[in-house]
Amino acid sequence: MKHALVFVFFCALSLFKAQESTALSYSEVIKLSDSTKSSKLLYASAKMWFTQTFKDPKEVIILDDSNNNIIVGRGNMRYNSKIFSGSAARQGWIGFDVQIACKDGRYKYNFSNFTHEGKTYNYGLITTDPFLPTMKGMLMGGPENYKIRVTNELKETIKDRITILISELQKTMEKPLTTKEEW
């Protein structure tokens, strides 16, 4: 009997471990139509994208590694909830990290670590779960269907903004960069 209880305990523990949350992220390796574009030119294009996208790129860029052609930044987007109940408390910002790594003829982007900070409620890291792990109890979210609606709205806000950023990044990376040889 004792062994059976230990077995059930470890099965339950492994099931709990299998259900850990996965952070929401958008990542892709893009091969350019011009596969001869060097990693240095792509790196310069990525820096150009940061300059065009963010008001103060110096404040956003947290790692600028020209030797390895990697740029990492931390940005944010405004979040205004359209779900009336509790919207003022959730209103705030969603922070995120963006990493761009360049190799000859291709680059990889990764938008990750989406974190909500509201006026009253901070939901923290946005995950792929039906509703966020921080929405516990009635005080931090209410009934389950309400928590799911709020989580879906957060994910849609992120998806809409990131889709635009990815599209702008792809256009910038494909565009020929004027170099000093072309003057």
Chain centre to alpha carbon of residue 105: 24
The answer to whether the Cα torsion of 36, 40, 42, 44 is positive or negative is negative
pLDDT at 11 over 90: no
Element (H, E) at 165: helix 144-174
CB distance 118 to 92 below 8 Å: yes
Query: Which domains does the chain possess?
Result: 22-175 (3.30.530.80)
- Give the per-residue pLDDT at 19: 57
CB distance 110 to 26 below 8 Å: yes
Each residue's pLDDT tens digit, 27-42: 999 999 888 999 999 9
Please report, rounded to a whole number, the percentage of residues in the chain having pLDDT higher than 70.
Answer: 84
Each residue's pLDDT tens digit, 70-109: 999 999 999 998 887 778 888 999 999 999 999 999 999 9
